[in-house]
Amino acid sequence: MRILPINNTINNYQSANKSKHRNTIFRAVSKESLEFVQKIPLDERLASMFQKFLQGDLILVGKNLNKAKERMLACASNLDSAVKRIFFLPDENLHGYLAFTKNREGLKEVINLNDEPIYMIDQVKHRSESLTPHDSFYLLEGDILGVQGNLIEIKEKSKVDLAGYRKNFCSAKSFENDINYEIEKMNKKTIAQLSKDVKQASSKVMFKDVGGQDELIDELKKSVIYPLRYPEVYSNFDINRGFILYGPPGTGKTHIARALANEADVNFVSLNGSEMESKWVGESEENWRNLFEEAKQKQPTILFIDEIDAIAKERSGKDVYGDKVVNQILTLMTDIDNEKESVFVIGATNNFKALDKALIRSGRFSKHLEVKMPDLDGTKHIFDIHTANKPLDRNLDKETLGKRLFDLKVSGADIKYIVNEAHSQGFERLGIYEKMENKTLTGKDIQKFWITQEDFDKAIKKFVETRNGTERKSIGFNK
Ligand code: ATP
């Protein structure tokens, strides 16, 4: 959730306006169009705005923009969300001022900017409630606001199609560029606070730590990072929120998902399908609902489900427990898609064919990205990544080693294993383990230490023997 004190944003807004900041996109509303749109009832214009209402938007309503701004400042403490865009809907006939926002639960809220109470008539419960000055209240479709004689009905959809006129009947200001830096700063703090109890992405892994997957990374940037960073630019896009990363074990699916979350600087929740299968039997559907709810509340969120095939197997009708979970996930995925939440769900599997077909169809996990075994350049790149901080002998022939590893058809996890094993072989060669045991190890022993060709030869030999014994499973695979 992006949080920024409204005082900051309003002040920014004012200074941006004063200085005719280059990012200011405040549109003057011409007299003619104002006259025209004022004939359209306010609730219809509002409904039209609501159709495009995003979290971080603020709609001010009243006669005069400056007064609305002044009053909003007095009620600033009501807002805990960063205001990224302000819209102003002028209305000559309204005897008061109102502000509309979208809260973290995605509900519309009204803030009473007046010094007198306003009323909210709940049509469903047939009762009326008074809203004290400067207070806020969430709204549901059908509620009616009574503002000093004016009645405004809250509608989700406008009866008249105003989409084409929207630009003409409101003024808008985007803070996105003006205050990006502050939003980012606040976000970091807030997200860290909010996700205290959530397993967070390792702070180290970034895309530069992933080798041989440049095309895939490019795709993830376009499909996840940019939509998260620039939601407005993507407002007309049919954004894909569900992804499947598939490929052989150890190719870096989990590694890539972690790097993605770190690059996007968002909340990262990671779980393992096979662990959940047994742990959550009985209450699994509710757990899935809670999980998605939490992801929504802490959005932007990347929810990563490793070994998704363990829970999203093709429904057979025989496995009642499993079928229910698949159905539940399908519903939850459809919901986040319909509600256009900033939640991306990434499933990873070694067994793509086993996945339920409905789950991978359009609108759910509709983007399928293959994480391939590395080619020659990829293998060398991964080797460089994993040896970057290792003390390598200067005479080591990295080129030939890279080629040798490629010929062995190793995965990223295997390369990591081989490099660590070579390190360990070097410790054996110089009796470092022994010295540790005898407590005779000195700083000099470590300073003089290099991993040599011989260490790599032994490590590769051990790897090949172990792999032949364990068949196809990537032995570098570590969880
Ligand atoms: P599985 O399908 O068996 O769950 P996976 O594809 O998710 O495996 P990871 O668990 O991400 O593979 O890989 C294990 C480790 O191997 C990573 O933590 C990382 O250190 C290393 N690794 C794997 N692939 C790469 C890569 N392309 N670049 C750099 N390191 C990699």
pLDDT band, residue 14 (cuts 50/70/90): very low
Tell me what the mean pLDDT of segment 68-80 comes to. Answer: 76
The whole-number pLDDT of residue 377 equals 96
Higher pLDDT, 187 or 143: 143
Rounded to whole angstroms, how far apart are CA atoms 406 and 453?
A: 17
Long-range residue pairs from 285-293, CB within 8 A, at least 24 positions apart, any chain: 285/324, 285/325, 285/328, 288/325, 288/328, 288/329, 288/332, 289/328, 289/332, 292/332, 292/335, 292/336, 292/343
Percent of the chain with pLDDT over 70: 74
The whole-number pLDDT of residue 73 equals 78
pLDDT at 472 over 50: no
Q: How far is the CA of 251 from the centre of ligand 1 (A)?
A: 5
The whole-number pLDDT of residue 356 equals 78
Tell me what the mean pLDDT of segment 394-423 comes to. Answer: 95
Handedness of CA 448, 451, 453, 455 (dihedral sign): positive
Name the nearest CA neighbour of 167 among 33, 60, 76, 72.
Answer: 33
The whole-number pLDDT of residue 313 equals 67
Tell me what the mean pLDDT of segment 411-429 comes to. Answer: 94
What string of H, E and C letters represents the secondary structure of 43-67? HHHHHHHHCCCCCCEEEEEECCHHH
Alpha-carbon Rg for the chain, nearest whole angstrom, is: 29
Residues sharing a CB contact under 8 Å with residue 240, sequence separation 6 or more, in sequence order: 223, 366, 367
What per-residue string of b and e applies to 394-410 under the rule 16 or more CB within 10 Å gives b? eebeeeebbeebbeeeb
The whole-number pLDDT of residue 323 equals 64
Question: What's the DSSP call for residue 225?
Answer: I
pLDDT at 27 over 90: no
pLDDT at 3 over 50: no
pLDDT at 159 over 80: no
The whole-number pLDDT of residue 259 equals 92
Name the nearest CA neighbour of 93 among 159, 42, 32.
Answer: 42
pLDDT band, residue 195 (cuts 50/70/90): very low
The whole-number pLDDT of residue 279 equals 46
For ligand 1, atom 8, the nearest C-alpha belongs to: 250
The whole-number pLDDT of residue 148 equals 85
* H and E: helices and strands count for the chain: 18, 15
Q: Which atom of ligand 1 is nearest to the CA of 371?
A: 6
Q: What is the pLDDT of residues 301-335, one digit of tens each?
A: 888 888 888 777 665 555 545 567 777 888 888 88
Q: Which atom of ligand 1 is nearest to the CA of 256?
A: 11
Q: What is the pLDDT of residues 334-370, one digit of tens each?
A: 888 887 788 899 999 998 888 878 777 766 888 899 9
Rounded to whole angstroms, how far apart are CA atoms 23 and 120?
A: 37
Is 337 strand, coil or helix?
helix
CA distances from 122 to 49, 150, 329 (A): 21, 16, 33
CB 120 within 8 A of CB 145: yes
Q: How far is the CA of 321 from the centre of ligand 1 (A)?
A: 31
pLDDT at 175 over 70: no
Read off the amino acid at residue 149.
G
Q: What is the pLDDT of residues 222-280, one digit of tens each?
A: 999 988 878 778 877 888 889 999 999 999 999 999 899 888 888 888 887 766 654 44
Q: How far is the CA of 250 from the centre of ligand 1 (A)?
A: 4
Q: How far is the CA of 411 from the centre of ligand 1 (A)?
A: 8
Which of 85-89, 167-171, 236-240, 257-261 is the least confident region?
Answer: 167-171
Average pLDDT, the chain: 77
Q: Which atom of ligand 1 is nearest to the CA of 307?
A: 4
Domains of the chain: 6-180 (no CATH), 207-370 (3.40.50.300), 376-470 (1.10.8.60)
Tell me what the mean pLDDT of segment 142-155 comes to. Answer: 90
Tell me, rounded to whole angstroms, the distance of Cα 417 from its chain centroid.
31
CB 88 within 8 A of CB 46: no
Cβ < 6 A, ligand 1 pocket? 210-213, 249-255, 306, 348, 350, 382, 385, 412-413, 416, 476-478
Q: How far is the CA of 252 from the centre of ligand 1 (A)?
A: 3
The whole-number pLDDT of residue 277 equals 55
Q: Which atom of ligand 1 is nearest to the CA of 349?
A: 2
